[in-house]
Chain A
C-alpha cells in the first residue's frame, strides 16, 4: 500500500511525463526517466489472437527516436494525453511502485482545431522511488485502440 506521499509523488511523475510529451519537450520527458528506462507499446489482436509489440525502446532508443524526428515527414497535429492514475502498488524491498493508469489520447487538427479521440488504453508503469526524485523505470502503453489511421511518429 502506498503512503499518501508516495502516491502523490508517483501521480505527479506520471502526469509530468504526459505534460512533457504533450509539449514535445523531449529532454524533460527523458529527465523523468531512469537510465534503465524501457518504453513499450503493446496490444492484443483478436484477429490473429496474438499479443503484439508495436514499439519497444530503451532510453537510448527513445532519445534517438526523438532526435531523428525533424528528419522525417510527420503529422504535426498535437496530442493531448489524459491520464488518471488508478492504482499504486509499492514494493518497499525493491524501492519501486507498479502503477496502472487509464489513458485517453486526443488529437487536435491544426486547421480548425477539431479534436478527436485518437486512442484509449492504459499505462502500466514501474516507478523507481527515490524520495523527491522518483523516476520512470518502465512504461508499457497497453492500447485498446488499434485503428490509428495513418499512424503517428511520437509515442504516447
Chain B
C-alpha cells in the first residue's frame, strides 16, 4: 500500500538502532561537525609508502577534515607529514601532487624548508626581521604519522588523539597475514560523486546490494559459502566480513584468478571497513583501498588505489592489473555500478527532496546480507557526534546502543 504524507514522515517500524534520519546526509552543519569530531581525531590513510619510495619523495593529499598535507620521506628515510601551508603568508608550498624535493620552497617569497619541517632559509631575513624572527621560528606544522598495516601512511591531525594501535585495534588482524610482503600501488584514480561520504562507506559495509552487480551475483551469491560470510564488529566503528571462494570463471569473459595472493585461499576475499571512511578490500589477486573526503554534504571525493606485490614479475603485475580493471577500474563492471548506486542516493536525498529515513533493519545472524555493519558504524557516529543518527536534532541525548 502506498503511503500518505504522514505515513512517509512516520518513523520506521524498527528499533531506533535500525534506521537513520536522512538529514545526516544533507546537512551542512552536521558535515562541519563531522569534520571536527569524526575526521580530525581519527587516523586517516594519506597514501602508501610505495608512493614515496626514495629520500625526498613527497606526495600531496588533502585530509578529509580539509587540511592540505605534504607526506615526505626525509633524508633519514623516515616518512613525515606537514601542513602544505607556508607559515609566512599562508600560501601553498608545493603544487605538484608528487615529486622529489630536497628543499620545499614557497614560490611566493622563497621561504625554504627541509624534509624534517625545519625552515632553512628566509629570504632577506636579517634586513626585514633583524633578530625578532628567524628560521627557528618558522617551522612547518608537523602531523602525527605512522607507516603501518600494509605499508600505508597514516596521519592524525589531533596531537592528543589515541594511538593508531588503539584506533585500529584488532580490526585489521584478519588481513595482517596477507600484508607481510611489501606492496606497491599500481592504480590510482579519483571520483567526485554527488552523494554523502557515509553513503559510500555504507555501500562498502553491506553486501545486500550484491543484487546490483551481475558479476557478484554470478560469481558469489549463487555459489556455495556466500551466505555463510559473517560480519565482525570492532571498537571505534570498524567492521569486517569473512571470506568465501569467489568463482570467477562463472562470469563469461572472466576466468579463475591464477596469480592469487600469498597465503590467501584461491578466490578468497576479505574486506575491512574502517571508521570514518576507509576500506581495505583484498579480492584474490588485488588489494584495493578506498579513502573518502567529503567536499560537501552531498559531494564526496573518493580515492581508489590498487596494489600488488612489490616483487611481482611483469606477467604477474599485468594479470593483477587486468583482474583489477575487470571489476574495479573506472571502466570496470562493479565500480561503475556501485558509484551509480550512491549517485542515485545522492539524487534522492539531496536537500528538499523529502527523503526521510534510511532503513538498516536486516537481521540475518550477522551473515552477509545482515545490515549490522552499517548499524555498528552509526552507533559509533552517534557516540562521537553526541547526537543519535536516528534523531540528529536531539543533541545531548544518550548515544545509540551498540548494534
Of chain B, the residue at the smallest CB distance from A63 is B253
Mark A141-156 against chain B: 1 for CB-CB distance below 8 A, else 0.
0000011111111010
Interface flag for A73 (CB, 8 Å): yes
CA distance A42 to B106 in the complex (A): 33
Q: Please list the 5 inter-chain residue pairs (A to B) with the smallest Cβ-Cβ separation, ordered nearest first.
A: A64-B253, A150-B339, A151-B336, A71-B214, A151-B330
B109 in the interface (beta carbon within 8 A): no
Complex contacts, B51 vs chain A, CB 8 Å: 47-49
Q: With an 8 A cutoff between CB atoms, is B340 at the interface?
A: yes
Assembled-state Cα–Cα distance A135/B213 (Å): 35
A94 at the binding interface (Cβ < 8 Å)? no
For window 44-67 of A, CB contacts with B under 8 Å fall at 45-50, 52-56, 61, 64-65, 67
Query: Which of A47, A50, A67, A150: most chain B CB closer than 10 A?
Result: A150
Q: Using an 8 Å CB-CB cutoff, how does the interface string of B334-345 with A read, 1 for contact, 0 for none?
A: 011101100100
Residues of B within 8 A of A68 (CB): 214, 251-253, 333
Is B276 part of the contact surface with A, judged by Cβ < 8 Å? no
B340–A150 CB distance below 8 A:
yes
Known: A55-B325, A73-B214, A150-B339. 11 other contacts (CB 8 A): A47-B51, A47-B97, A47-B98, A54-B189, A54-B325, A68-B214, A72-B336, A147-B190, A149-B339, A151-B331, A155-B331
CB closest chain-B residue, reference A62: B253
Q: A72-B333, A151-B339 are in contact. Are A64 and B252 (CB under 8 A)?
A: yes
- Closest chain B CB from A86 CB (angstroms): 24
Judge whether B157 is part of the interface by a CB distance below 8 angstroms.
no
Nearest CB in chain B: distance from A108 CB, A: 17
Q: Mark B184-206, 1 if CB is under 8 A from A, else 0.
A: 01111111110000000000000
Q: How far is the CB of B232 from chain A (nearest CB, A)?
A: 30
Q: Does A75 contact B (CB under 8 A)?
A: yes
Instruction: For B321, list chain A residues within 8 Å (CB).
Output: 52-53, 56
- The distance in angstroms between the C-alpha atoms of A71 and B218, with both chains bound, is 11
Is A74 located at the chain interface by the 8 A CB criterion?
A: yes
12 contacts between A and B (CB under 8 A): A41-B331, A45-B188, A47-B59, A48-B98, A52-B187, A52-B189, A56-B322, A56-B325, A72-B215, A73-B213, A146-B330, A147-B192
**With A54-B329, A55-B329, A73-B212 as given contacts, are A151 and B187 in contact (CB-CB < 8 Å)?**
no
Tell me how far the C-beta of A131 lies from the nearest C-beta in chain B, rounded to whole angstroms. 33
- CA distance in complex: A118, B103 (Å): 37
Chain A residues lying within 8 Å of B215, measured Cβ to Cβ, are: 72
Cβ of B137 under 8 Å from chain A: no
* Interchain CB contact (< 8 A) of B331 among A46, A54, A67, A146: A54
Tell me if B398 is interfacial: C-beta within 8 Å of chain A.
no
Contact of A48 among B96, B185, B253, B343 (CB under 8 A): B185
Residue from B213, B331, B339 with most neighbouring chain A CB atoms (10 Å): B331
Number of A-B contacts (CB under 8 A): 101
Chain A residues packing against B (C-beta within 8 Å): 41, 45-50, 52-56, 61, 64-65, 67-68, 71-75, 146-153, 155
Quick check: B333 and A146 within 8 Å, CB to CB?
Answer: no
Chain B residue, CB-CB nearest to A73: B337
> Within the complex, what minimum Cβ distance (angstroms) separates B402 from chain A?
33
Cβ B330 vs Cβ A54 within 8 A: yes
In the assembled complex, B262 has its CB within 8 A of some CB on chain A: no
> B10 to nearest A CB, angstroms?
31
Contact present for B332 and A52 (CB under 8 Å): no
Query: A147 touches which one: B191, B322, B343 (CB < 8 A)?
Result: B191
Q: Determine the chain B residues whose CB is within 8 A of the CB of A61 once the complex forms.
A: 253
Chain A neighbourhood of B187, CB < 8 A: 52
What's the minimum C-beta distance from A12 to chain B, rounded to whole angstroms? 27
Docked-complex contact B252 and A148, CB < 8 angstroms = no
Decide: A152 and B325 in contact? CB cutoff 8 A.
Answer: no
* Cβ 8 A contact of B96, one of A46, A53, A55, A148: A46
Residue of A nearest to B214 (CB): A71
Q: Which chain B positions have C-beta within 8 A of A147? A: 189-192
What's the least CB distance linking A142 to chain B, in Å? 14
Say yes or no: B336 contacts A46, CB within 8 Å: no
A55 nearest in chain B by CB position: B331
Distance between Cα atoms of A52 and B213 in the complex (Å): 25
Report if A52-B252 is in contact (Cβ < 8 Å); known contacts: A75-B336, A75-B340, A148-B191. Answer: no
- Asked whether A153 lies within 8 Å of B325 as measured between CB atoms, the reply is no
Query: Is there contact, CB below 8 Å, between A151 and B191?
Result: yes
- Complex CA distance for A46 and B337, rounded to whole angstroms: 27
Q: Answer whether A146 and B190 are a contact pair too, CB < 8 Å, given A47-B59, A49-B98, A155-B331.
A: yes
Please give me the residue from chain B that is nearest to A147 by CB atom: B190
Q: Is A52 a contact of B331 with CB atoms below 8 Å?
A: no
Q: How far is the CA of A72 from the CA of B335 in the complex (A)?
A: 11
Closest to B331 in A: A55
